[in-house]
Structures are given as structure tokens and as C-alpha cells.
């Protein structure tokens, strides 16, 4: 004998507080919701617009240096402690939580060109590999167990600094004077894995996110940009009216913030995700955030949403330089096509964009 019973769970229809919205049971059968995709498209469009409305990445400015900030370093154990060195030889220790200077040390009479913190944790990871970049356009890889360099790659122009990927030990990115960044696999230096192009002046510094999926670059064009490792174009550009040539940049160890030091003696703190809400989120806020993110990923290739998501405001100087470089690049491409067209077949080799900037590899 079968007995059918009605069973109701109060959690499905009773509000937690009187300020909550009334919960309504829904039937998720797609046949009953013929306009589900148009509704989701409108929600994705609104979520993309709100993301740009709330994109306010600038958090704070740390004032106090009396000369340009030349280098930055993170503390290996304390997340909120940062060290900065200036062109007048002064080193300052900052507390990011309180946003003030803890200590000031006159370390040198001249430039402070680099700071390296000591690892005092319970464990750490090393390799014997060392990379260096020099003013003679070389990037040299050394093995400390040998007397001679392992490999050397020569580029068209000088490399200012390199940074190793924290998740893939054989990948590094070089910041170059030719406005580009080059990601190399040390096992095959003849061709870069990716050429990152968006800056309009020399790239002075680069630093990876702790996740290894993105890196941030500082440039002489008074801006910093965030690049995905596998993309040639940046996903974000940060700038202010007061910020001058950016000399150094660091990604914090919790992967949430970015610090940069520039010529006008300021250290600036930015959000890594421009529209991220800081502070504790309620469960409903987290659910809405995840839902909107999935909608944006689902409709990211629709033209209207794609245009809004990638639009960034640029200073007039950077915008005009981008247009000028675009014209120059198109002229070079047109000239190359004409040379191939009017030459003997095979006499003019077709060189890919990745190989154009590598002069030679010495082993």
C-alpha cells in the first residue's frame, strides 16, 4: 500500500529576516521559460556596464620620499610590510594597512638600485638558475654550478628587467626598451612564447602575480598595464593625472593589490581587479557576484558586451601615440608585402612577429 504525503521544508519559503526578499518556488523546466536567453543577455549587459561603473582601482598614495622611487620589495612573511628605495639613497619601510611609514633609513649616498629581502620562513624553494639583462641588449642565463653562462639571447634593443613566473620555473618575461614585453621559455630562446604589445614607451619594470597567470608592467609612458600571460594585449591600464614616469612595480603576495613607484616621489596602491568590492561579502553578494561573472563569460563574445568590457579611458598623449604607432606599423606591413610581391619568389623571407625582435641566440 502506497501513502503519498506532502513534505515542506520551511527553509525553502520562510525568510531568514523580515528584510529579506520573499522566496518563491520556481519550476526550472526550459519549456516554461521561452525567453530565458534574452533575459540573461540583458542581465549580462547590465553586469558588464556596472563593472565599468564601479571600476575604481586607485586606493591610496604613500607620500614621504624626497626623490623618485627607484625600487620596491615585498616582505617574505608580513603581507602588509613593503620596502622602497629612492634615488637619494633613502630606504623606507611602509605599513600598507595603516598606510604610513614605519622607519626611514639613509642607506646610500647615491641611487638605491635594488632591494632584496631575506627569506626567514620555515621553508623555501630555490634553483641554481640566475638570469641577468645588460645594456648590450643581452639576456644571459647562468647556472651557479658552472663557470660559464648557459645561454644568451640578443634582442634588437636593451632589456631593462626580467621576472620569472612563480608557477612555471622555466618561463620568464623581459621588459624591453622597444615598448614590448617578451615571454620566453628558457628551453627555447630563439622564439619568444608571446610578445606583449600595448605600451607606447620603454617598459621599465615587470612583476608576476603569485598565481602566475598575469603580470603587471611599468612604463615610461606614465601608466601601468596588466597582461594575461597568454595574451598579447593588456586587460587593464591604470593611470592618474599626477603620476609621472613609472619606474618600479610590484604585485602583493595575496594577489589582490598592485604597488607602483614613480618619478614624482609617490608610491601608489591599486586594486588588481578594478571593480572588486573590498571588505566582507554576504552570502547573497557572493552568489550574485558569481552569477554575474558566469553571465559575462557566457556572453563575452557578443559585440555590444565585448565593446563595453574592453573600453578603457586613456590620456590624450597615450591615445595619440597609439594612433601614430598603428599608422607606422601598417606602413611597415604594406612595405613588406610590396617587397615580397615585386621580388623573386623565395628571395625575401617572411619573418613572423615573434622572431623579428630576436637577433641571435648564443649557447
Tell me the C-alpha distance between 70 and 83, whole Å: 11
Which of 177, 189, 183, 187 has the alpha carbon at shortest distance from 220? 177
Residue 145 has pLDDT above 80, yes or no: no
Is pLDDT larger for residue 271 or for residue 346? 271
Q: How far apart are CA 149 and CA 273, in angstroms?
A: 39
State the average pLDDT for the chain.
88
What's 290's DSSP letter?
H
Q: What grid cell was written down for 309?
A: 568590457
138 torsion bin: left (phi>0), alpha (psi -120 to 50), beta (else): beta
Band (pLDDT 50/70/90 cuts) for residue 123 is very low
More confident residue, 134 or 218: 218
Distance CA 45, CA 211 (A): 29
Cell numbers 613607484: residue: 261
Which tens digits make up the pLDDT trace of 79-120? 888 889 898 889 888 998 888 898 888 888 888 877 776 654
* Measured distance CA(31)–CA(28) in Å, rounded: 9
Q: Does the pLDDT value for residue 330 go beyond 80? A: yes
State the DSSP H helix or E strand holding residue 100, giving kind and residue range, or none if neither: strand 100-106
Residue 148 has pLDDT above 80, yes or no: no
Judge contact between 159 and 175, C-beta under 8 A.
Answer: yes
The three-class DSSP label of residue 33 is: coil
Q: What cell was used for 169?
A: 620555473
Q: Beta strands 214-219 and 267-271: pairing type?
A: unpaired
Query: What confidence category does residue 3 fall into, taking pLDDT thresholds of 50, 70 and 90?
Result: confident
Which pLDDT does position 355 carry in this prediction?
86
pLDDT, one tens digit per residue, over 290-322 is 999 999 999 999 999 999 999 999 999 999 999
The whole-angstrom separation of Cα 243 and Cα 259 is 13
Grid coordinates representing 124?
A: 623555501
In 3D, which of 213, 206, 192 has the Cα closest to residue 163? 206
Q: What angle do CA 166, 169, 173 make, to 5 degrees?
A: 70
Amino acid at each position: 500500500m502506497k501513502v503519498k504525503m506532502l513534505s515542506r521544508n520551511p527553509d525553502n519559503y520562510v525568510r531568514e529576516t523580515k528584510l529579506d526578499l520573499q522566496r518563491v518556488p520556481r519550476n526550472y523546466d526550459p519549456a516554461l521559460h521561452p525567453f530565458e536567453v534574452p533575459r540573461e543577455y540583458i542581465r549580462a549587459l547590465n553586469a558588464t556596464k556596472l563593472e565599468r561603473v564601479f571600476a575604481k582601482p586607485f586606493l591610496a598614495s604613500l607620500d614621504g620620499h624626497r626623490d623618485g622611487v627607484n625600487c620596491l620589495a615585498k616582505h617574505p612573511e608580513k603581507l602588509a610590510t613593503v620596502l622602497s628605495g629612492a634615488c637619494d639613497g633613502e630606504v623606507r619601510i611602509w605599513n600598507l594597512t595603516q598606510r604610513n611609514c614605519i622607519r626611514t633609513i639613509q642607506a646610500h649616498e647615491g641611487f638605491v638600485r635594488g632591494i632584496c629581502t631575506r627569506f626567514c620562513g620555515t621553508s623555501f624553494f630555490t634553483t641554481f638558475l640566475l638570469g641577468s639583462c645588460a645594456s648590450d641588449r643581452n639576456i644571459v642565463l647562468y647556472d651557479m654550478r658552472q663557470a660559464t653562462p648557459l645561454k644568451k639571447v640578443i634582442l634588437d634593443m636593451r632589456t631593462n628587467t626580467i621576472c620569472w613566473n612563480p608557477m612555471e620555473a622555466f618561463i620568464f618575461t623581459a621588459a624591453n626598451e622597444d615598448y614590448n614585453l617578451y615571454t620566453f621559455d628558457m628551453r627555447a630562446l630563439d622564439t619568444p612564447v608571446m610578445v606583449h604589445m600595448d605600451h607606447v614607451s620603454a617598459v621599465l619594470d615587470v612583476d608576476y602575480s603569485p598565481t602566475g597567470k598575469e603580470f603587471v608592467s611599468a612604463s615610461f609612458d606614465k601608466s601601468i598595464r596588466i597582461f594575461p600571460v597568454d595574451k598579447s594585449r593588456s586587460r587593464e591600464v591604470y593611470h592618474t593625472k599626477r603620476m609621472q614616469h613609472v619606474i618600479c612595480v610590484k604585485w602583493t603576495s595575496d594577489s589582490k593589490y598592485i604597488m607602483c613607484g614613480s618619478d614624482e616621489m609617490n608610491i601608489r596602491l591599486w586594486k588588481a581587479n578594478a571593480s572588486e568590492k573590498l571588505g566582507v561579502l554576504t552570502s547573497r553578494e557572493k552568489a550574485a557576484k558569481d552569477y554575474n561573472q558566469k553571465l559575462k563569460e557566457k556572453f563575452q563574445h557578443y559585440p555590444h558586451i565585448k565593446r563595453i568590457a574592453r573600453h578603457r579611458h586613456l590620456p590624450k598623449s597615450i591615445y595619440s601615440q597609439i594612433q601614430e604607432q598603428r599608422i607606422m606599423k601598417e606602413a611597415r606591413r604594406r612595405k613588406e608585402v610590396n617587397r615580397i610581391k615585386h621580388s623573386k619568389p623565395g628571395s625575401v623571407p617572411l619573418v613572423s612577429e615573434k622572431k623579428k625582435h630576436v637577433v641571435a641566440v648564443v649557447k
